[in-house]
Amino acid sequence: MATRNAATQDDLRRHNLARLLRRLHEGGAASRSELVAFTGLNRSTVGVLVSELADVGLVFEGAGPAGQVGRPSLVVQPVASSAVVVAFDLRVERTVAALVGLGGDVLIRKEQRHKRSSYTPEAALRNIVALIGSMLGKAPHPSTWVGIGIGVPGIVDHLDGRVRLAPNLGWSDVPLGDMVREALTAEFGFAPSVAINNDADLGAIAEHARGVGAHSRNLIYVSGEVGIGGGVIIDGRPMAGAGGYGGEVGHMAINPQGAMCRCGAQGCWETEIGRDAIVSAAGLGGDQTEVADVIAAASAGDKQAQQAIDAAGEWLGIGLANLVNLFNPEVIVLGGHLRLMFPLVSGTVYRRIHYSLPAVREQVRVEVPMLSGDSTLLGAAESAFEALLSDPIDVLARAHHAAAS
């Protein structure tokens, strides 16, 4: 009985440490009084937990912000350099990477372009390992590397990191998780926690945790790159689906007479509002042409470019109206080129959304990301921190041991 009680007490302690660190990581600095109110624990218990996190360097307690009336109160805040992760947003024609510290601070950010035709899984892996080595070499000292998060534009088994299908990359059934773990072990002697997820799912997580949807419990993030992805938050939690592949909104069959999609189906949403579709409709060729170029041409009076943007706005609104009926969200966040296009087509989009069911559309608003173009990147960082935030002391100790071995 004594052993069981001790185990229960240790589990409770770990749980409370995790809650406290997650609050500081996601919500920023807080006074002990605020932490007492957040956790529901007494002041003495919160003090013990703060001290334990401070002893391992994850948090520190210091004076609050200047400008307060009277004596400034002490606040507890995460130490950004104490634990770091490397995050990746693997896009079809560029790789974005960042070294992110505890609390969400981006310490280093890098971006590299690549050719779609040559971006094989093996090429991506070499790039990932090289970028990790480069950023860790410039990381603050001391810091502990606790995870890696990767966003992929495709269908991903988040349990083992296998990319089932990424049609715009030309990848199929790629064991990316195993490949990354093996490569990191070979290069660095160990592999920290590796989290690989769909890019739009990560965008939804980031915008819900830190962005424009921070105070919403029901959110849809629609990413616009070469293809179209979707991430869905329902009642404050990511919607995964039976196999973890839910939210592939870019492959809604929306136009039965539409173009063939790289996934093999006809009339998918991304064949109407994806980058290639908009650029082609505008009559602007070239692999380097972006939707921003189409918008610039339309603003300069190019009639074909204007028609392309207008048509994409209609299809965007039709698709969003479907999503409103299906999920009843509070907020829809438009990422990638959709955030650039939205100011030009917002009237069309809201007119189309008006055709969704009246009660369902009452609360919805359409927004652009607060995190600009880095929603997926920061979502990848959040996924990489998940192991640490679930069991701070144990994960940090194991990371220290692995790095020292």
Residues of the chain with CATH 1.10.10.10: 2-63+74-78
**Which tokens hold the place of 399?**
């990371």
The two tokens of residue 197 are: 């997820």
Class of domain 2-63+74-78: mainly alpha
CA distance 220 to 234: 9
pLDDT of the residue at 327: 95
**What DSSP string runs through 53-91?**
HHHTTSEEEEE--TT-SSSPPEEEEE-TTTEEEEEEEE-
Reply yes or no on whether the pLDDT at 65 is more than 80.
no
Average pLDDT of the residues of the chain: 92
* pTM listed for this prediction: 0.91
Residue that wins the pLDDT comparison between 245 and 147:
147
pLDDT digits (tens, 9 = 90+) for 1-60: 555 555 688 899 999 999 999 999 999 999 999 999 999 999 999 999 999 999 999 999
How far apart, in whole angstroms, are the C-alpha atoms of residue 112 and residue 182? Answer: 23
pLDDT, position 68: 55
Q: Where in the chain is the domain with CATH 3.30.420.40?
A: 83-201+381-404, 214-369
Query: Mean pLDDT, to the nearest integer, of 337-365?
Result: 94
- Give the C-alpha separation, 155 to 166, whole Å: 6
Please give the pLDDT value at position 239. Answer: 92
Please determine, for residue 285, whether its predicted confidence score (pLDDT) is greater than 80: no
Predicted pLDDT at 43: 94
> What is the assigned CATH class of domain 214-369?
alpha beta
pLDDT tens, position by position, 148-189: 999 999 999 988 999 999 999 999 999 999 999 999 999 999
- Segment 188-203 mean pLDDT: 94
pLDDT of the residue at 225: 86
Candidates 90, 114, 89, 92; CA nearest to 274 is 92
CATH of domain 83-201+381-404: 3.30.420.40
The rounded percent of the chain whose pLDDT value lies above 90 is 83
The mean pLDDT value for 54-76 works out to 79
